[in-house]
């Protein structure tokens, strides 16, 4: 187990050293001053070492501060259910992993977690689940969304992450109160995608892209992202991922290192993977480059970053991330929501998790946007229809009352 509690002088010294190292050097990094980075530029920067690497991180930090400020927003994470109809080759809760005990939270457990988020000034929650598209599931989520809205008097922002659904379902859940949706493409490389998923109609690359478009049409702030360090993945492919995310014009991103799970088909390639530390380093560069390419989106500092490096999320915040997702799932279920191995914080209560993250964010020189939704500025700028924009800050609701 990786402890989430901040302990030991070594951790602090390492973090302070990291902060110092990302200060911009005097050298002018011509590449980084370009207004548009090409595929070839991105490859160069993903391979950056020495001063170029330092300048890359410094440039991303500078852009973050200038374009969205130094606030980090909390989204309380509720891992609603690990029941999934799909069989992604990399995922620990895939349908054919019969070693996992399946669960689904009760309405009361979800509402309790939502209340905790509200009481602790998180302002937003993320409800994540394995993918299901049966009527019972769709109705249950719709009902839950209404209950959460009622419980919080619409003060809690709600992000969903429940995979590919029909446009009708996306519309229903939007109308019920969800306003952000995360759907990771995992890789924008069609050939690589086919090696990560079964070759059938429910794991179709084009359908996934169409889902991202449907989410935009429904009015959501749309998030996507990729895994970094997958078997068969190249630097060229990662550079393409960045351009893909820019092209589909995402509002939010969640990216992190690939971490293998022994009960999955991809585990047999473990010997061919980059060392974990290199996957982490590449992930940091991906975050920094995405911040440079898409200056005003929200980027999550993912838990997978912390799995490899105990200060992974803080480092991610320092090079471009501005969202963090403390886990509010009841502890008894967390062991069974392991999409990958060595997931941290699986036995910490929400209160401990909050205190730990608060301290970590301050060390990273950022402050927390308590009681603020912290919606994607990118989204607000791209929406032509103001009626669809739900950028309601809870504080402004309080003022109206
Ligand atoms: S990645 Fe998502 S859709 Fe794929 S098996 Fe895991 S939970 Fe299901």
Residue with tokens 């895939």: 94
Backbone angles phi and psi of 250, in degrees to 5: -65, 160
Confidence at 392, pLDDT banded by 50, 70, 90: very low
- pTM assigned to the model: 0.88
Q: What is the DSSP string of 174-218?
A: HHHT--EEE---B-S-HHHHHHHS-SSGGG-HHHHHHHHHHHHHH
Average pLDDT (303-314) is 92
Whether 180 lines ligand 1, by a CB cut-off of 6 Å, is no
Separation of alpha carbons 177 and 149, rounded Å: 7
> What pLDDT is stored for residue 34 in this prediction?
86
> What pLDDT is stored for residue 364 in this prediction?
79
Instruction: Copy the structure tokens of residue 272.
Output: 């061919």
For residue 51, the CA-to-ligand 1 centroid distance in Å is 39
Minimum-distance ligand 1 atom for the alpha carbon of 339: 6
> All domains of the chain, ordered by start, with CATH?
30-400 (3.20.20.70)
Whether 88 lines ligand 1, by a CB cut-off of 6 Å, is yes
> What pLDDT is stored for residue 359 in this prediction?
80
Whether 163 lines ligand 1, by a CB cut-off of 6 Å, is yes
> What pLDDT is stored for residue 5 in this prediction?
47
Least confident of 30-39, 188-197, 200-209, 300-309: 30-39
- Reported as a single tens digit per residue, the pLDDT across 334-355 is 777 766 666 666 556 666 667 7
Average pLDDT of the chain, as a whole number: 89
Contact between 400 and 104 under an 8 Å Cβ cutoff? The reply is no
Instruction: Copy the structure tokens of residue 1.
Output: 């187990």
Minimum-distance ligand 1 atom for the alpha carbon of 130: 7
Backbone angles phi and psi of 364, in degrees to 5: -75, 5
Separation of alpha carbons 103 and 54, rounded Å: 44
Separation of alpha carbons 82 and 157, rounded Å: 23
Which residue has the least CA distance to atom 7 on ligand 1?
Answer: 130
Minimum-distance ligand 1 atom for the alpha carbon of 197: 4
- Reported as a single tens digit per residue, the pLDDT across 109-141 is 999 999 999 999 999 999 999 999 999 999 999
**Helix pair angle (39-46, 235-247), 10° resolution:** 130
> What pLDDT is stored for residue 365 in this prediction?
84
Whether 131 lines ligand 1, by a CB cut-off of 6 Å, is yes
Whether 84 lines ligand 1, by a CB cut-off of 6 Å, is yes
Cα dist. 1→156, 305, 310, 363 in Å?
A: 32, 15, 11, 23
Which residue has the least CA distance to atom 4 on ligand 1?
Answer: 88
Instruction: Copy the structure tokens of residue 214.
Output: 């449907």
Is residue 367 over pLDDT 80? yes
Which residue has the least CA distance to atom 2 on ligand 1?
Answer: 130
34 conformational bin, left if phi > 0, alpha if psi -120 to 50, beta if neither: beta
Least confident of 90-94, 177-181, 301-305: 301-305
**Helix pair angle (50-67, 39-46), 10° resolution:** 110
Average pLDDT (20-35) is 65
Residues 6 or more apart in contact with residue 362 via CB below 8 angstroms: none
> What pLDDT is stored for residue 10 in this prediction?
62
> What pLDDT is stored for residue 286 in this prediction?
98
Is residue 28 over pLDDT 50? no
Contact between 87 and 315 under an 8 Å Cβ cutoff? The reply is no
Backbone angles phi and psi of 311, in degrees to 5: -110, 25
Ligand 1 mutation pick, 86, 87, 336, 339, max ligand atoms within 8 A of CB: 86
Cα dist. 362→8, 93, 311 in Å?
A: 17, 34, 13
Whether 37 lines ligand 1, by a CB cut-off of 6 Å, is no
Confidence at 40, pLDDT banded by 50, 70, 90: very high
């Amino acid at each position: 187990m990786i402890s989430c509690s901040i302990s030991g002088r070594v951790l602090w010294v390492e973090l302070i050293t990291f902060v110092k190292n990302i200060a911009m050097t005097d050298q002018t990094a011509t590449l980084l001053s370009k207004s548009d980075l090409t595929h070839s530029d991105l490859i160069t920067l993903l391979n950056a070492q020495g001063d170029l690497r330092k300048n890359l991180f410094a440039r991303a930090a500078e852009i973050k501060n200038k374009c969205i400020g130094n606030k980090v927003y909390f989204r309380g994470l509720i891992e609603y259910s690990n029941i999934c109809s799909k069989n992604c080759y990399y995922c620990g809760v895939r349908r054919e992993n019969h070693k996992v005990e399946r669960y689904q939270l009760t309405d009361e457990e979800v509402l309790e977690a939502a209340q905790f988020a509200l009481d602790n000034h998180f302002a937003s929650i993320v409800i994540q689940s394995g993918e299901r598209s049966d009527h019972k599931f769709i109705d249950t989520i719709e009902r839950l969304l209404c209950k959460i809205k009622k419980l919080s008097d619409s003060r809690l922002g709600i992000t969903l992450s429940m995979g590919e659904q029909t446009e009708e379902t996306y519309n229903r859940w939007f109308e019920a109160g969800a306003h952000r949706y995360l759907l990771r493409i995992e890789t924008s490389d069609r050939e690589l995608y086919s090696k990560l998923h079964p070759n059938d109609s429910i794991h179709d690359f084009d359908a996934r892209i169409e889902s991202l478009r449907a989410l935009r049409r429904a009015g959501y702030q749309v998030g996507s992202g990729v895994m970094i360090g997958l078997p068969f993945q190249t630097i060229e492919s990662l550079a393409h991922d960045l351009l893909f995310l820019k092209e589909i014009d995402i509002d939010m991103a969640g990216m992190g290192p690939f971490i293998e799970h022994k009960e999955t088909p991809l585990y047999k390639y473990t010997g061919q993977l980059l060392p974990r530390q290199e996957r982490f380093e590449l992930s940091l560069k991906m975050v920094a480059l995405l911040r440079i390419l898409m200056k005003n989106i929200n980027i999550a500092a993912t838990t997978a970053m912390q799995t490899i490096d105990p200060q992974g999320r803080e480092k991610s915040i320092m090079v471009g991330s501005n969202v963090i997702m403390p886990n509010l799932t009841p502890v008894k279920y967390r062991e069974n929501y392991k999409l990958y191995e060595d997931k941290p914080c699986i036995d910490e209560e929400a209160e401990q998790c909050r205190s730990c993250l608060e301290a970590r964010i301050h060390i990273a020189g950022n402050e927390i946007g308590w009681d603020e939704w912290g919606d994607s500025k990118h989204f607000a700028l791209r929406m032509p229809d103001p009626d669809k924009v739900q950028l309601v800050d809870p504080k402004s609701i309080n003022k109206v009352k």
